[in-house]
Amino acid sequence: MRIINWKSEIKLLLCFLIPALIIDWFFDILPWAILLVVSAYLTWTFLQLRRIHRWLNHESHKPPPYSSGIWGDIFDSIYRLERQNKEEKLRLQAAVDYLRDSFASLDDAAVMVNKRGNIEWSNVAAENLLGLRYPDDTDQQLVNLVRTPEFIDYFESRNYEDPLDMDAPKDPRIKLQVHVTFFGEGSRLMFARDITRTNKLMEMRTDFVANVSHELRTPLTVINGYLETLHDNDISDTDRLKRIVEQMLGQSHRMESLVKDLILLSRLETVPEAMEQHEIDILSLIESIRIEAMASGRGERLITIEGDSAISLMGNMDELRSAFTNLIINAVKYTEEGGHIHVSWYRDKNNAYLEVTDDGIGIDRHHLPRLTERFYRVDTSRSIDTGGTGLGLAIVKHVLMRHQGDLEVNSTIGEGSTFTCVFPLSRTVAQSYTA
Ligand code: ADP
């Protein structure tokens, strides 16, 4: 920074005064001489003030006009301050732009409201979730635009300790959680977050716990009932005793398979991808499942297999076995004795398919979208008869997802069903035979 040049200013004044004193020495007209000097100095000062005024008002973007002495220093100082101000303004503007950009890109709605409750700024998400348009709605009262009564009460209460949960004004299916905080001198910053998915997950979790408890309680109640009968009565009839023990065994097997399915499902959901992946001979796998299904003691059904033994699938043996077993056992369970189940394994130019078709009871079309939900059953009473847990198709869906596959279901009531596992060709391996 330059040091203000007072010396040169005093020199300048002396340049005016010394001639005036010399004139006075010769002509003895001191007052006039002084008046002349002061007027000249004032005029010069006035001219500098005019230049500064003109420069500040019309040309402040340019460097200051040249001037000597103290005025030169003043021009330079003002110019330097002006430049610092501009730089500071640009820096602040950049910080504000940065903050606005980051708020603008938020998935949550963000709204800035001044102390009178008028909107100052809002982001794009605020338009989607709250119906606020920026800049069109600037300066409007927020409560005039978001007219949900519970929101108006909350916003005007000025007590924002707890967030507010409410329906989105534009679409009541969307649930919002609103947070408001004060900042600056009474301004408010409001965030609204879409919590529809979180709410749904919470609901699903609650339903899941309720379902598991119910599924476990039912067989436990039956076992308890039989145990009480055994405890309170002296049963000497061996046939009756055998029936009771059989019933208890059946229920305990039911609990066991439920727990097994739950453990498998939770592993499928939590472990991202099966560690062990091999080339699997699908036809041999299906054949071994067929033998198990025939031996399951569910009565006579014809199970036929057809497929291309040259195509194998890269995947996890245990997971695929469990998925295909569920489909084939389901086909057996939901087909009357003497029915026919056909399993085929083939590929076309798009995908590879494992198809299980039965001519069983079939499923009403409106159940199809929900079949893979956990514990979803078409007919609860019948499922209990068949010993199903309601988790089989959820397991199938997860296993297929982990193999980049998909499950397709076609069914007609009274005619039968087809469950198709669709795999991408990238998962298949074609065997080449040597003669
Ligand atoms: P479950 O253990 O009850 O069989 P799943 O998840 O395997 O549970 O199947 C869900 C429901 O889908 C079953 O309760 C049954 O109503 C229906 N379902 C599954 N497979 C078949 C099929 N092949 N034929 C008719 N209904 C079926």
Question: If you average pLDDT over residues 220-226, what whole number do you get?
Answer: 93
pLDDT at 387 over 70: no
pLDDT in tens, 43-81: 888 888 888 888 888 877 778 877 777 778 888 888 888
pLDDT value of residue 245? 92
What per-residue confidence (pLDDT) applies to 385?
59
Average pLDDT rounded to a whole number, residues 206-221 = 89
Ranges 178-182, 255-259, 285-289: which has the least confidence? 255-259
Q: Where are the beta strands (DSSP E) in 246-286?
A: 278-280
- Give the separation between CA 414 and CA 364, rounded to whole angstroms: 9
pLDDT digits (tens, 9 = 90+) for 73-112: 888 888 888 889 889 999 999 988 888 888 888 899 999 9
- Band (pLDDT 50/70/90 cuts) for residue 220 is very high
- The rounded distance, in Å, linking the Cα atoms of 9 and 85 is 28
In this prediction, residue 280 has a pLDDT band, given cuts at 50, 70 and 90, of very high
For residue 72, give the nearest of 13, 17, 6, 14 by alpha carbon.
6
Position 299 scores a pLDDT of 67
Task: Report the share of the chain in percent with pLDDT over 70.
Answer: 95
The pLDDT confidence band at residue 430, using thresholds 50, 70 and 90, is: confident
Give the model's confidence band at 1: pLDDT under 50 very low, under 70 low, under 90 confident, else very high.
Answer: very low
pLDDT tens, 122-180?
A: 999 999 999 999 999 999 999 999 999 999 999 999 999 999 999 999 888 999 999 99
Burial 186-220 (b: 16+ CB within 10 A, else e): eebbbbbbbbeeeeeeeeeeeeeeeebeebeeebe
Question: Ligand 1, from 371, 382, 389: best to mutate by most atoms within 8 Å of Cβ?
Answer: 371
Question: Contact 183/120 with Cβ under 8 angstroms?
Answer: no
Q: Residue 4: its pLDDT value, please? A: 57
Coil, strand or helix at 180: strand
* Amino acid at residue number 46: F
28, pLDDT greater than 80: no
What's the mean per-residue pLDDT of the chain?
Answer: 88
Indicate if ligand 1 lies below 6 Å from the C-beta of 389. Answer: yes
Q: Are strands 311-315 and 351-358 parallel, antiparallel or unpaired?
A: unpaired
Most confident of 69-83, 100-114, 273-287, 311-325: 311-325
Determine contact, residues 320/359, Cβ cutoff 8 Å.
no
Statement: residue 394 has pLDDT above 50 = yes
Q: Supply the residue whose CA is at minimum distance from atom 7 of ligand 1.
A: 392
Question: What per-residue string of b and e applies to 337-355 under the rule 16 or more CB within 10 Å gives b?
Answer: eebebbbbbebeeebbbbb
Residue 130: predicted pLDDT: 94
Q: What is the mean pLDDT of residues 420-434?
A: 85
Asked if 150 contacts 156 with a C-beta cutoff of 8 angstroms, the reply is no
SS3 272: coil
Closest residue (by CA) to atom 17 of ligand 1?
378
Please tell me what DSSP assigns to residue 332.
Answer: H
* DSSP states of 342-397: EEEEEE-SSEEEEEEEE-SS---GGGGGGTTSTT--S-HHHHHHHT--S-HHHHHH
* Residue of the CA atom closest to atom 23 of ligand 1: 331
Q: What band does 434 get if pLDDT is binned at 50, 70 and 90?
A: very low
User: Which of 211, 253, 330 is the best mutation target for the ligand 1 pocket, counting ligand atoms within 8 Å of the beta carbon and taking the most?
Assistant: 330
By mean pLDDT, which of 30-44, 78-92, 177-191, 412-426 is the weakest? 30-44
Buried b (16+ CB within 10 A) or exposed e, 20-36: beebeeeeeeeeebeee
In whole angstroms, give the CA distance from residue 102 to residue 163.
Answer: 22
